Each structure stands twice: as C-alpha cells, then as structure tokens.
A and B are shown apart, each in its own frame.
Chain A
C-alpha cells in the first residue's frame, strides 16, 4: 500500500512541485478570504494556465488552492461575520462572538489548526483506505441520498436558537429558493419568471454573497464612524493556548474529521454539510451546549476541521469513480482531464505517481496551512480590523460585485446578489437567521431530486424509501438528532426532580 506513495514522494519533493504547493496554498488562502471568490473558481481559472506545466505542478497548485481556500474562508467569517466560502457559514456562529470578546487572534489560530488537522486526517484517509471507502460510496443510491439530505436538514433544528418560528421560516425560504429552475424530470420551468438566467436555478455563491456580505457592508455604512478594533485584540491573550486546551480539542478534531471524511465520500454533499454536521454533533455531546453560538472555541474548531476533512475525502470518489464529491473536486477532475488523465479505476494503475503524488500534496498543503495560516495570515489579515468601516464597506461591496460577476460573466447575477443583499439586511434587522436559508438551498434540491429518482425507479412505491438497512440507519440517526433536545430536556427535569 505504501510502496506507490514512497515512489511518488521524491517527485513531489522536487522544487517546482514544492513551489507550486506553496504558491497554491497562499493564493488559495487569499481567494478563500475574499467573499464571492471560491476555490472552485480559482482552480477553474488556473486550469488553462497549467497546460505547459507538468501534471504534478498543476495538481500541487490545485491541492494548495483547495486546502488554502477552505481555511481562508474562515478569516472573514471570524473577523467580519462574512463567510469567505460556503462552508465557513458555520464558523460565523462562534467566530465573531470570540472576536467581539477580544479573542480574534485565538479564533483565527483555532481555525488554522483545525483546518490543518482536518485536512491532514482526510488526506491520510485518502492515502490509506480509499478503495474500501469507495465501496461505501457505491452503497448509497437515490433513497439513501434522500435520507442524507433529510439528515442534513434536521441539523437546522440546532440552528434555530431562541426563535424557532423565525428559523423555520428562514429554512422554508431556503427550500423555496432551491426550487427555482428547470425541473429535470418533466422539463418544466419553475419560479423562473420567464428569465433564462433562472433556468439553471440559483447559484449558491450569488445567494451566499448577497445574504452575508452585503448586510454588514450596509450596517458599516450606517455606523459611518470609525470603530476599528483596538490592536490589542489582535494579540493572543493569556490562557489562549491551544496546547493547554489540547484535551478539549482532540476529541472535537477526531469526531469532526471522521464526519468530514464520511460526508466527503458521498458525492454532491460538500464541505458545507460536513461543517454543519460536525458542529451539530460537537454541540450535541458537549456538556454545555448552550455556550455554542456565543463564542465557544470548540464551535470554531468543529466547523473548520469538519469542512477541511471533506477536502481530500471528496477526491476519493472523484479519482476512483470519476464522481466529484464537491464542486471543487469537479474542477480538479477537469484539470486532470486537461492533462490527459482520465479519472477512473485505471488512473491508479496507469499514472500512480500522479495519483499518489496528489495525495501527498493534499497532506503537505494541510501542513503548510499551519505555517502560513498560523503566522503570516493572522498578522496580515487581522489588519482588516484596523480599516475604518467607512472604507471597509465599499471595499466589501466592490469585492462582492466583482466576484459575482466573474462567476458567469453576467450582470444579471450581480443584480440578483444585490437583491439578496437587501433581503439579507431586512432579515438580520428583523432577527431572522441566515444559515437555514443556505442550508435549505443546498439540501432542498438534493432531497427533492433523490426523492423523485427513488420513486421513479420504483414506480411510485414509497416503501422503497425504507427498503435498505442503510436507509433505515440514516432515518434512525435523523430521529435521534431531532429528539435529542427533548431527551436532554427530560433528563434535566428528572435530575431536578431528584434534587428536589
């Protein structure tokens, strides 16, 4: 098993390849930290530039961008409450409260460590147990994917917070948004209002950027007065040591890492769901679940570790079956094709140095996150907090507009994003949470599509949804997650009764 890895190692360590992963990781961090720019786009733009490069140089840059961007997204999420990439929405739950409490530097450090560890766990899984993990991918059919989506939607329950009605309303809004576009089964247009631009459905990045990046910009413009955080907040405070709290973090990392890997090997789910579920589970088993959402370092750790553990795992079905586990994995596949490397079972045999080299690169770039993310990033990026809001607001607006325009080279998307910006502003002002909207948009589509596929295959027999043991297991897990608050509540009451 390790022989091909050892064989690929010297190739990976050649200097052009090392330069590639360093350049990739740093640019990935920058791309990820800018709202509207994503790893998917960064890699897609890179592909034509890699024609003349050796495959491993190109792949090294892609691996770097992938891991770098997934960490980079947490930087604005913590400092400005603007997720740089979709998965870092989850980081906005506990990151900004920590920053407000003056622990921004600590939050950034946790995000960096957790991303690196999540990425590393995932890369090791890719190297060692890719073949058996692929078999798990094959176990999942439409019925199972439907339940996975329902399981993801159940985690909304955790996000509801104090006002469940508003949370549910936001989730329904997200589900409604997921219905926009052409119906694949019948070919009918839904909620497209005769606009060709809406036929493919709403682009997640457009909605995300609108909802999350614009409201803070509007609010900053409102406040107008310069209120940059004092630089003292950028330094680590006493007691803000990861090593000292390593016992708290280790189980979080391990749990989130495994969750991330499992979500990663299921095509079509992606890092957002990994981060949501990892956060959800960490909160569920924590002795003090109420501290989450108020600046609990473990919340940041779970979110970032879960989402980076999705990275290399998403490449497992991509490399072996040609099915990308996420949008980023899809463009990396395209990058492979450009170099004449057809993903699939033969890739491992015909180009072992490239495949195993790429796996090593995924591990090395995770390690690089520690180096750059740790020292460089928070020295540089934390300076954002010194920029007065009067300047920061138009900067965010410009970035959002440029980022969204480059998605499809179309101004329609920009208007759509601005529209969602207004919606997001009204929602935050009236106390509606934003995260359920995004979760609804991501999972609504998946749940609907897989549900209909299952029923189509089985000619409308709905018992087919419960036929496989795997489906039943996921249904059971969903019930457990949904009833957990109730169980917790009953337990506390019994304890109180006993005490009285």
Chain B
C-alpha cells in the first residue's frame, strides 16, 4: 500500500517536473466567481489579453457565479494545483463568508499569486450636505447615537459595514447601518438625497467628486490616493482605519513556486503595459500590484483582522 502511494507520488512529481519546464503548454482557466458583465468579470476580461501576451498562453475566463462568489471561490480552492486553473479572489468578501457560514475553503486553501486592484473605502456625502468633515460626522454620531443612517454598497459583513463598525469602536459614535447591496443604487440614493451618508469605494466615486456632486469626507487608505490627492485619509483625521476591497489572482493551495512566479511575473508585465494602464486609468481602476509573497502577507493580515473583529463583535448572529 505504502509503496503504491510512494510510486504514485513519485509519478506525479515527475509529471509535475516535466510540466514545470514548459509551463504553460495548454490553455489556462481563469475562474471568475461572478456573472459575465459584473465588475470583477470586466476587470478579468480587460487584463486577460495582456496576461496572455506576456505568459504566451491562452487564458479562458470561466464564470462560476453564485452565493456572492462563494461557489467560484470553492471551485478554485478545490481545483488541481497544476497552474492550469487560477481565479480572481475578492478580499475581504471571500474571507468574511467563512465566518458567517460554513465554507468549504479557508485562507490555507489558496496559493496567492498577485494582487491587481486595491480600491480604498470612503465615506461620502452630497455636495450640499451640512457635514463638512469626518469630525462633523463623528460628532453627530456621538450626540445622536444611531440616528445617522449610513448606506453601504455591500450587505452585512461587507468591508464597508465592518469599516463603519470600526469607526464606531474607535470614536464612540454610533450610526445606523443601511445595506443597499450594490454601489449603483446607493450612489443614486446619495445623489438624490435619500441617504445622507454613503460608504463605498473610491474608484466608484471619483467622477462624481470631480463633477462637484458629492463630497468625500475621507479615504480609508494608508497614504493619500493618487486619484484623489486632495482628500485627506482617515488616519490624517485621527481615525486609524485602513480598509477597502481588493481583487487579486490566486490558485488552489499547493501550487509549485516556479509556476506561481511565472504567473506573478506575467501579471506584473501586463499591469505595466501602456495600453492596459491607459484603459485602467480611463475606467478609474486603482491598480496596486503586489507580488506573491507580499500578497500572502496582505491576505494573512486581512484574515487576522477579520478574525479579531468577529471575535469582538460578530456582525451576524
């Protein structure tokens, strides 16, 4: 029995060895855990031809939508770690699910390859609002606990929801969380004056900010964001909060390092391609390349933060 296993292992190692040398030698599946036409799908299909160019391989986008992405993430976690199945993962949503319900994956089920996009969270009000700064909002939240509704683009457990909870615990103010489920209706409700404050991502606000229709109170990034250099961060305004949503590419756990490096390198080249950079800039996509090891560190830190947040105050009973 043992011998059989050993032989099998040896055989698979040998197979892996030959595969490594000329990887990639057949088309690669790129799992997107959302429907065609969604934000992640568009991002995937936009960068796909550029990765193909530098990896010199065919990449097929495979949409596996369902359960807010969980079905696709699970499919990715359970695929063969041979480098021919990779997929987009969305942080922190992917990890948040594993606290809210039983998922068939955890952080250990993935091999991080590279981060592509980091879109910091923001709090925004309509341009004519009385709330001029983050301090105004916090003060109101202290004076009138739970009176100020803040709309979020996600549902319970989204990065925006957790961000509001963090603001509350850091400042002592209390707000009224209103989950809109997606960005477009939230932004329209903000423009129409139906919700006074909204939490969503910077990339989806820039154009409306430049038009003077909304005012961004603060950006939840470490340093000022390139696309909104005159908007102060939360840190500058005394609230130590850095969060947002990010998209990256990962594979199932146990992928050979050579393949990860090759993929990661091709993604870096793709993201530096002038044509791609121009496209991303026009579409207000905040690019942020992280190579495999830095991405792994980031994933670990995010997961730990989530674990702490869940421990302290579970966002779903």
Contacts and interface: CB of A to CB of B under 8 A. Distances in A.
* Chain A bound to chain B: yes
A47 B187 contact: no
A40 interface: yes
A45 interface: yes
A210 B41 CA distance: 27
Contacts of A199: 66-68, 70
A27 B71 CA distance: 31
A345 B204 CA distance: 12
Given A47-B42, A196-B67, 5 more contacts: A322-B204, A408-B35, A410-B71, A457-B151, A457-B176
B213 interface: yes
B125 to A, nearest CB: 14
Nearest to A184: B155
B87 interface: no
Nearest to A41: B36
A142 B68 contact: no
A187 B64 contact: no
B262 to A, nearest CB: 23
Contacts of A428: none
19 contacts: A40-B37, A138-B192, A141-B189, A185-B156, A186-B156, A188-B316, A189-B101, A267-B185, A321-B187, A322-B184, A322-B204, A323-B184, A324-B184, A333-B37, A334-B38, A337-B283, A408-B64, A409-B63, A457-B176
A458 B192 CA distance: 16
A469 interface: no
B132 interface: no
B304 interface: no
Nearest to B69: A200
A340 B66 contact: no
A402 to B, nearest CB: 16
Nearest to B317: A186
Contact of A340 (B65, B74, B188, B282): B282
B285 to A, nearest CB: 9
Interface string A24-48: 0000000000000000110111011
Contacts of A140: 192
Contact of A453 (B37, B157, B180): B180
Contacts of A141: 189, 192-195
B210 interface: yes
Contacts of A317: 188
Contact of B191 (A40, A321, A341): A321
Interface string B58-84: 000111111110110010000000000
Contact of B36 (A44, A51, A185): A44
Contacts of B257: none
A408 B192 contact: no
B210 A346 contact: yes
A360 B315 CA distance: 49
Interface of A: 40-41, 43-45, 47-48, 51, 137-142, 182, 184-189, 196-197, 199-200, 267-268, 317, 321-324, 330-331, 333-335, 337-338, 340-342, 344-346, 408-410, 449, 453, 456-459
Contacts of A197: 66-67, 71
Contacts, number: 152
Contact of B46 (A45, A333, A338): A338
A247 to B, nearest CB: 40
A335 B36 CA distance: 10
B34 to A, nearest CB: 10
Given A200-B66, A321-B188, A322-B184, A344 B208 contact: yes
B7 interface: no
A254 to B, nearest CB: 29
Given A200-B66, A410-B66, A457 B156 contact: no
B278 interface: yes
A338 B100 CA distance: 33
A196 to B, nearest CB: 4
B179 interface: yes
Contacts of A40: 37
Given A187-B155, A342-B284, A409-B62, A449 B181 contact: yes
Contacts of B176: 456-457, 459
Nearest to A335: B37
A457 B194 contact: yes
Nearest to B194: A141
Interface in B10-37: 35-37
Contacts of B286: none
Contacts of A344: 207-208, 211
Contact of A334 (B37, B146, B195): B37
B213 A138 contact: no
Nearest to A458: B149
Contacts of B189: 141-142
Interface string B197-222: 00000001001101101000000000
Interface string B274-288: 000011001110000
B71 A196 contact: yes
Contacts of B316: 186-188
B235 interface: no
Nearest to A322: B184
B207 A337 contact: no
Q: Which 5 A-B residue pairings sit nearest by Cβ, starting from the closest? A: A141-B194, A44-B36, A340-B282, A331-B37, A187-B156
Contact of B149 (A51, A185, A186, A457): A457
A189 B45 CA distance: 31
B16 to A, nearest CB: 28
A459 B147 contact: yes
Given A324-B184, A334-B41, A345 B208 contact: yes
**Interface centre among B66, B147, B177, by most A CB within 10 Å?**
B66
Contacts of B51: none
B43 to A, nearest CB: 9
Contacts of B284: 342
A341 B38 contact: no
Contact of B194 (A142, A200, A267): A142
Nearest to A188: B316
Contact of B211 (A185, A345, A457): A345
A47 B37 contact: yes
A185 B37 contact: no
B45 A48 contact: yes
A388 B206 CA distance: 58
Given A48-B61, A459-B147, A340 B156 contact: no
A140 B68 CA distance: 27
A408 B63 contact: yes
A361 B191 CA distance: 29
B36 A47 contact: yes
Contacts of A268: 185
A251 to B, nearest CB: 33
